[in-house]
């Protein structure tokens, strides 16, 4: 049994007390003395040339301090892109400038043109209406394939075309892959869309810039998943502020789902304007603004093909994907459809030959970047839809086709043909577990019961693999990352034994304050209540890379383990001195140091006090104090995997799909807090189901956002789902991090969309609607009805 608050315990989340009682401290709760407010005047056309801007009337209005245009940012850099992709011809990607305020052209609805700073937000907004912007409207490019057509209007006049890159992976495999298709016994293909999504965290983005003229130093409070990354990007590339003069604080953050990884124009604006105006400057996004200024997610069009031999073994896989970049390159945009997507195309299978082609395209739409899962949901959706289609076309059981082609438990570590090496896994085990929990055997009976009520019941399966715990820095460096991806931790033991941990990870809902304390409590054997986790402030945490890619525990937790081990080593030396024994003979158990084989012992607090009040202390050999910092750089990604089962009922009259059961059997390696893991899976499942059935970000052909509010963008709600069966008892611990953990934050959103769609197709086929081989997400009632009647 785990200790109440050690590793393995479902300790309640300590942060929830303040969140649930309304006492969280979010960026919008920060109001600085003398603060002014900014409102951004944003483009309402998708593509246009700015012929002139007249701000004079606005500047004369009540309360207005200054109206900024791009002219005010001539000395500033553009917002940098953190990843450079090299295409299949060896050329680096086309990388346009991303100005803070539009320069010369507007490139998407929502592109900021001017920023009005005034005493109050309402004054700023009023004044923005008085600005006259003369825009010559240009024909926009919205559809990706049209954007690549000869003679298409260019989003960026200084680039050769709207093609950011044409990436091939593994380019050297291409001929062999094509040859395998020539000789295949069966070829199955599918064209599909991975729908564009808006992350919509509950808390919209906020930025407060502050400037201290006496110290010439800047502070930015922002809704970020990675304040150190923002400090580096904004300081070094945009505003030219050295790190020691720039502090970035991300306090409580109300969800991010990826959209708060990136460095945004509004952050740089508020930081800069605070210096110009010598007053704090605050921006709080409205929900409407979030729809047109937060980076969107997904938006891929793919053709995927699978070759099989006569015995139904997968022999080759190839894909052609168009990935929307939007109008500018958001911070990590180029990496998502490439290294976070192509490397996962083996899925759980032994497919020996794989070729992935991705064309990244600029369009007059909001930039697209990582969203929960980032690349892996796109990969998983293609593979698992296609395998299901293959089973149907070949007339074999979808479970059996998968099992036959699974990498087996004895094949790990497994080198895939798409560069990555899976360290552990047991896909047969997770599949078996899911089918058992789903009562797959009883499905037919339940289906018959539904049929009596005129409803079509279906069962859909998906098995996913994902790579998280991003990432070995030397590897991602070779792949084009312009950053390292280690994580950091400082463990400061206080004199009386309490412990302050400073992590480079960032919690925006994940529960780090609880989980990380459990890890340290378990290692030392003290109560978790004596441990405090600090994160989010560059002035007190070591340089860390933040939270995304399900990396916090696998990478950030490992850094904490490393630093805590250094603490324990030193504490043992101090204990050895106090107990007059050799350090090798000292054992630490339940917060007590003892000499092996004796009854001599000293408490944790006796040692910590000695460290800070070193009266009886080996000062010649050991520094006083007890504080250690560690950086951990992983040697591989981690590879969570799992089997998902979705049972639905479909109303053939209306096309409406009801999810009756959802079963997730995940292998996350070791588990620190099962309750938090389940919560993460629940959240991921809801977002994945949202993508599959409801969420859709749609532009019209003029680049106007048709789904620009919750009146038209369907967020999943509590009554859309009925609870989940979540299991994580299949454990193959990660082999290369000290906790043996893999990460669980994105799995739900990765594995669920294909399970849902497969269930719908299954229901339709069982009812005889065999002409429906695919329906593009989201499977809204209208689309399902149209597919049945099409």
Among 10, 707, 725, 735, which residue interacts with another protein (rule: CB under 8 A)? 707
Interface with another protein, residue 699, by CB under 8 A:
no
Locus of tokens 């009801």: 658
Eight-state DSSP code of residue 555: I
By beta-carbon proximity to another protein, the closer residue of 6 and 716 is 716
Q: In what order do the strands lie in the sheet with 112-118?
A: 64-68, 112-118, 36-42, 281-284, 206-212, 217-222, 246-249
Give me the least distance between CB of 696 and another protein, in Å please.
7
By beta-carbon proximity to another protein, the closer residue of 205 and 783 is 783
> Of the ranges 66-74, 330-338, 452-460, 648-656, which one interacts with another protein (CB under 8 A)?
648-656
Interface with another protein, residue 696, by CB under 8 A:
yes
> Of the ranges 143-151, 506-514, 691-699, 767-775, which one interacts with another protein (CB under 8 A)?
691-699
Count of residues engaged in binding another protein, rule: CB under 8 A: 24
Interface with another protein, residue 62, by CB under 8 A:
no
> Of the ranges 448-456, 481-489, 693-701, 750-758, which one interacts with another protein (CB under 8 A)?
693-701
Interface with another protein, residue 786, by CB under 8 A:
yes
> Of the ranges 20-28, 556-564, 581-589, 692-700, which one interacts with another protein (CB under 8 A)?
692-700
**Inter-residue contact 158 to 362 (CB < 8 Å):** no
CA atoms within 13 A on the CB side of 192: 29
Distance CA 270, CA 259 (A): 19
Give me the least distance between CB of 613 and another protein, in Å please.
58
By beta-carbon proximity to another protein, the closer residue of 349 and 713 is 713
What does 275-317 look like in DSSP terms, one character per residue? HHHTS-EEEE--HHHHHHHS-EE--EEEEEEEEE-TT--EEEE
**Inter-residue contact 625 to 418 (CB < 8 Å):** no
Give me the least distance between CB of 706 and another protein, in Å please.
6
Q: Which of 532, 587, 536, 382 is nearest to 465 (CA)?
A: 382
Per DSSP, helices labelled H in 620-739 are 674-693
By beta-carbon proximity to another protein, the closer residue of 11 and 450 is 450
By beta-carbon proximity to another protein, the closer residue of 125 and 573 is 125
Query: Helices 558-579 and 604-612 sit at what angle, rounded to 10 degrees?
Result: 80
Q: Which residues in 752-781 contact another protein (CB under 8 A)?
A: 780-781
By beta-carbon proximity to another protein, the closer residue of 208 and 788 is 788
Q: Which residues in 105-124 contact another protein (CB under 8 A)?
A: 122
Eight-state DSSP code of residue 538: T
Q: 160: helix, coil or strand?
A: coil
By beta-carbon proximity to another protein, the closer residue of 670 and 780 is 780
**Beta carbons within 8 Å of 20's beta carbon, 6+ residues apart:** none
Eight-state DSSP code of residue 494: -
Q: Which of 680, 741, 729, 745 is nearest to 423 (CA)?
A: 741
Interface with another protein, residue 617, by CB under 8 A:
no
What totals of helices (H) and strands (E) does the chain contain, helices first? 19, 30
Q: Which residues pair with 501 in a beta bridge?
A: 491, 533
By beta-carbon proximity to another protein, the closer residue of 42 and 508 is 42
Among 710, 722, 729, 770, which residue interacts with another protein (rule: CB under 8 A)? 710
Give me the least distance between CB of 226 and another protein, in Å please.
31
Q: Which residues in 624-643 contact another protein (CB under 8 A)?
A: none
Among 179, 421, 619, 782, which residue interacts with another protein (rule: CB under 8 A)? 782
By beta-carbon proximity to another protein, the closer residue of 441 and 711 is 711
Give me the least distance between CB of 288 and another protein, in Å please.
7
Interface with another protein, residue 715, by CB under 8 A:
yes
Tell me how far apart the 2 most distant CA atoms of the chain are, in Å.
86
Q: Which of 465, 460, 357, 466 is nearest to 405 (CA)?
A: 465
Distance CA 45, CA 433 (A): 52
Give me the least distance between CB of 146 and another protein, in Å please.
20
Q: Strand 353-362 vs strand 592-595: parallel, antiparallel, or unpaired?
A: unpaired
Q: Give the per-residue contact string, 551-580, with another protein (x = CB under 8 A; - = no).
A: ------------------------------
Among 23, 120, 183, 654, which residue interacts with another protein (rule: CB under 8 A)? 654
> Of the ranges 78-86, 161-169, 510-518, 694-702, which one interacts with another protein (CB under 8 A)?
694-702
Q: Which residues in 164-203 contact another protein (CB under 8 A)?
A: none
By beta-carbon proximity to another protein, the closer residue of 202 and 441 is 202
Per DSSP, helices labelled H in 406-454 are 427-437, 443-452
Q: First-to-last CA distance in the chain?
A: 57
Give me the least distance between CB of 681 and another protein, in Å please.
24
Among 712, 722, 729, 770, which residue interacts with another protein (rule: CB under 8 A)? 712
By beta-carbon proximity to another protein, the closer residue of 536 and 716 is 716
Q: Quote the strand ranges of 309-412, DSSP E.
A: 314-326, 353-362
Distance CA 764, CA 203 (A): 39
Distance CA 487, CA 559 (A): 6
SS (H, E, C) 665-694: EEECECCCCHHHHHHHHHHHHHHHHHHHHC
Among 17, 582, 619, 706, which residue interacts with another protein (rule: CB under 8 A)? 706
Interface with another protein, residue 722, by CB under 8 A:
no
Distance CA 282, CA 688 (A): 34
By beta-carbon proximity to another protein, the closer residue of 129 and 216 is 129
Give me the least distance between CB of 325 and another protein, in Å please.
24
By beta-carbon proximity to another protein, the closer residue of 179 and 786 is 786
Q: Which residues in 271-300 contact another protein (CB under 8 A)?
A: 288
**Inter-residue contact 662 to 678 (CB < 8 Å):** no
Among 188, 370, 438, 694, which residue interacts with another protein (rule: CB under 8 A)? 694
Interface with another protein, residue 217, by CB under 8 A:
no
Interface with another protein, residue 63, by CB under 8 A:
no
Among 635, 653, 770, 771, which residue interacts with another protein (rule: CB under 8 A)? 653
By beta-carbon proximity to another protein, the closer residue of 347 and 655 is 655
Among 202, 310, 441, 711, which residue interacts with another protein (rule: CB under 8 A)? 711
Q: Which residues in 455-474 contact another protein (CB under 8 A)?
A: none
Q: Strand 300-308 vs strand 112-118: parallel, antiparallel, or unpaired?
A: unpaired
Residue 437, phi-psi category: left (phi > 0), alpha (psi -120 to 50), beta (remainder): alpha
SS (H, E, C) 440-503: HHHHHHHHHHHHHCCCEEEEEEEEEECCECCCCHHHHHHCCECCCCCEEEEEEECCCCCEEEEE
By beta-carbon proximity to another protein, the closer residue of 674 and 781 is 781
Interface with another protein, residue 132, by CB under 8 A:
no
By beta-carbon proximity to another protein, the closer residue of 525 and 781 is 781
Size (the chain), residues: 790
Site residues (vs another protein, CB under 8 A): 122, 125-126, 288, 653-655, 694, 696, 698, 706-707, 710-715, 780-782, 785-786, 789
């Amino acid at each position: 049994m785990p200790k109440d608050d050690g590793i393995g315990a479902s300790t309640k989340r300590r942060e929830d007390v303040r969140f649930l009682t309304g006492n969280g401290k979010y960026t919008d709760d920060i109001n600085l003395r003398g603060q002014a407010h900014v409102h951004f005047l944003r483009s309402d056309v998708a593509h246009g040339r700015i012929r002139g801007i007249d701000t004079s009337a606005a500047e004369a209005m009540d309360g207005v301090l200054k109206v900024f245009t791009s002219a005010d940012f001539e000395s500033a850099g553009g917002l940098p892109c953190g990843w450079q992709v090299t295409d299949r011809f060896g050329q680096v990607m086309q990388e346009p400038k991303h100005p803070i305020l539009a320069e010369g052209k507007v490139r998407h609805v929502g592109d900021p043109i001017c920023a009005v700073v005034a005493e109050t937000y309402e004054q700023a907004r009023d004044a923005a209406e008085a600005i006259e912007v003369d825009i010559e409207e240009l024909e926009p490019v919205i559809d990706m394939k049209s954007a690549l057509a000869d003679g298409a209007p260019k989003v960026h006049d200084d680039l050769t075309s709207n093609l950011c890159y044409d990436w091939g992976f593994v380019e050297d495999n291409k001929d062999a892959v094509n040859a395998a298709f020539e000789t295949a016994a069966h070829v199955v293909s599918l064209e599909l869309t991975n729908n564009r999504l808006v992350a919509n965290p509950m808390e919209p983005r906020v930025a407060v810039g502050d400037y201290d003229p006496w110290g010439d130093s800047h502070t930015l409070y922002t809704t970020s998943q990675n304040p150190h990354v923002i400090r580096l990007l904004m300081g070094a590339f945009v505003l030219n502020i050295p790190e020691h003069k720039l502090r970035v604080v991300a306090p409580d953050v109300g969800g991010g789902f990826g959209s708060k990884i990136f460095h945004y124009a509004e952050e740089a604006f508020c930081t800069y304007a605070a210096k110009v105006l010598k007053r704090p400057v605050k921006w709080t996004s409205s929900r409407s603004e979030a729809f047109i200024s937060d980076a969107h997610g997904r938006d891929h069009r793919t053709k995927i093909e699978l070759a099989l031999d006569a015995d139904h073994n997968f022999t080759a896989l190839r894909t052609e994907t168009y990935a929307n970049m939007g109008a500018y390159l958001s911070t990590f945009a180029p990496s998502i459809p490439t290294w976070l997507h192509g490397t996962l195309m083996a899925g759980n299978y032994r497919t020996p030959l794989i070729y992935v082609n991705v064309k990244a395209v600029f369009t007059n739409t909001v930039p697209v970047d990582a969203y929960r899962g980032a690349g892996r949901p796109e990969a998983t959706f293609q593979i698992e839809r296609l395998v299901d289609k293959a089973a149907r076309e070949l007339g074999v059981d979808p479970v059996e086709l998968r099992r036959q082609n699974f990498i087996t438990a004895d094949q790990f570590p497994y080198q895939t043909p798409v560069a990555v090496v899976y360290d552990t896994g047991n896909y047969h085990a997770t599949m078996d577990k899911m089918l058992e929990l789903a009562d797959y055997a009883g499905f037919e009976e339940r289906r018959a019961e539904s049929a009596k009520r005129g409803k079509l019941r279906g069962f859909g399966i998906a098995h996913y693999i994902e790579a998280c715990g991003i990432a070995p820095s030397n590897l991602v460096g070779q792949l084009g990352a312009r950053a390292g991806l280690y994580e950091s931790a400082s463990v400061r033991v206080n004199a009386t034994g309490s412990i302050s941990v400073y992590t480079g990870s960032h919690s925006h809902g994940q529960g780090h304050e609880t989980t990380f304390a459990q890890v340290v409590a378990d290692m030392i054997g003290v109560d978790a209540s004596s441990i405090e986790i600090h994160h989010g402030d560059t002035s007190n945490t070591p340089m860390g890379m933040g939270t995304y890619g399900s990396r916090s525990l696998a990478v950030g937790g490992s850094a904490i383990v490393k630093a805590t081990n250094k603490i324990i080593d030193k504490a043992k030396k101090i204990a050895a001195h106090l107990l007059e024994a050799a350090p090798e003979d000292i054992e630490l158990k339940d917060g007590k140091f003892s000499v092996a084989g004796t009854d001599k012992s000293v408490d944790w607090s006796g040692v910590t006090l000695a460290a800070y009040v070193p009266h009886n202390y080996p000062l010649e050999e050991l520094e006083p104090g007890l504080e250690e910092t560690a950086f951990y750089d992983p040697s591989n990604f981690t590879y969570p995997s799992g089997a998902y089962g979705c049972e639905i009922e479909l109303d053939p009259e209306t096309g409406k799909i009801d999810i009756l059961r959802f079963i997730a059997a995940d292998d996350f390696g070791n588990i620190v807090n099962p309750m938090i893991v389940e919560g993460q899976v629940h959240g991921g499942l809801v977002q994945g189901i949202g993508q599959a059935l409801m969420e859709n970000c749609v532009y019209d052909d003029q680049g106007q956002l048709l789904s620009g509010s919750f009146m038209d963008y369907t967020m999943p709600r509590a009554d859309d789902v009925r609870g989940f069966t979540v299991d994580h008892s299949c454990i193959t611990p990660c082999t290369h991090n000290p906790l043996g953990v893999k990460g669980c934050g994105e799995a739900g959103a990765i594995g669920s969309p294909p399970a849902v769609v497969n269930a719908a197709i299954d229901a339709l086929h069982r009812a005889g609607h065999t002409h429906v081989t695919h329906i593009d997400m989201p499977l809204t009632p209208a689309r399902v009805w149209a597919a049945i009647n099409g």
